[in-house]
Amino acid sequence: MPISPKELLESLNFRYATKVFDPTRKIEADTWAALEASLVLTPSSFGLQPWRFIVVKSSEIRDKLKASSWGQGQVTDASHLIVFTVRTDLSQQDIDAWIRRLSDVQDTPLENLAGYAGMISSFSANMSQSEKQAWNTRQVYIALGQLMTAAAVMKIDTCPLEGISPGDYNEILGLKDSGYTAVVACALGYRSSDDSHAKAKKARFTAETLIKHV
């Protein structure tokens, strides 16, 4: 059963960047499993999935990350915290790994995927390492968008956290020399009744400003 346009709008208006989470409320296991699935199922260019998601449960690690996130309380107080990381490169090995996986899952001979593999290779051949990293980084924002929307329709609160120090995060999470780098984080859980931001009127430019019809 699809949800109605009205229900979608209610969910989108329910969502806001939660500043104060209720530290006593935890997301249920089946809901959390669906949110992890939303990360896994996020679409990406050519299907490459140039990312890894780190779910940080350790309160010790979350304390350290908070100190590298302008002290934002959401890092420690939300039910769950996800750090989004991306590949710093896109190598032939990365492409080969994806093509092998595709071949396995769809039970398709590798030969039949050679054209597709070649298209990805020739596309990426014109990019520098930093351009590849930037491309991967854009992709992971699709995952962030999908996650926040998926959470909203299940009435789970979120706060995207761009104000993090990726260098510190990489060190704390042991990502140095892993080929991945932290980009952005997202806290998930339930808003505290003390969060005055929940009552603030949602502010956007008008639809007439943002959307043009041609």
Residues 88-107 that bind a second copy (CB under 8 A): 98, 101-102, 105-107
Q: Does 114 bind a second copy (CB under 8 A)?
A: no
Binding region for a second copy (CB under 8 A) out of 29-37, 71-79, 87-95, 187-195: 29-37
Query: Which residue pairs, CB below 8 angstroms and at least 24 apart, start in 91-99?
Result: 92/121, 94/48, 94/50, 95/48, 95/120, 95/121, 95/124, 98/46, 98/47, 98/48, 98/49
Select the residue interacting with a second copy from 34, 73, 168, 179 (CB under 8 A). Answer: 34
Q: Would you say the C-alpha torsion 155, 29, 77, 81 has a positive or negative sign?
A: negative
Q: Does 26 bind a second copy (CB under 8 A)?
A: no
DSSP, collapsed to helix, strand or coil, labels residue 55 as: strand
Query: Which residue pairs, CB below 8 angstroms and at least 24 apart, start in 172-177?
Result: 172/61, 172/64, 172/65, 172/68, 173/54, 173/56, 173/61, 173/83, 173/85, 175/85
User: Please, what is the minimum distance in Å from the beta carbon of residue 214 to a second copy?
Assistant: 6
Pairing of strands 180-189, 80-87: antiparallel
User: Please, what is the minimum distance in Å from the beta carbon of residue 79 to a second copy?
Assistant: 14
User: Please, what is the minimum distance in Å from the beta carbon of residue 29 to a second copy?
Assistant: 9
Q: Does 9 bind a second copy (CB under 8 A)?
A: yes
User: Please, what is the minimum distance in Å from the beta carbon of residue 96 to a second copy?
Assistant: 13
User: Please, what is the minimum distance in Å from the beta carbon of residue 64 to a second copy?
Assistant: 11
Q: Which of 148, 137, 151, 147 is nearest to 184 (CA)?
A: 137
DSSP, collapsed to helix, strand or coil, labels residue 80 as: strand
User: Please, what is the minimum distance in Å from the beta carbon of residue 47 to a second copy?
Assistant: 6
Name which of 111 and 204 has its Cβ closer to a second copy: 204
Site for a second copy in 120-179 (CB under 8 A): 134, 137-139, 141-150, 153-155, 160, 162, 173
Name which of 24 and 134 has its Cβ closer to a second copy: 134
Distance spanning both ends of the chain, measured CA to CA: 33
Site for a second copy in 38-77 (CB under 8 A): 38-43, 45, 47, 49, 51-58, 61
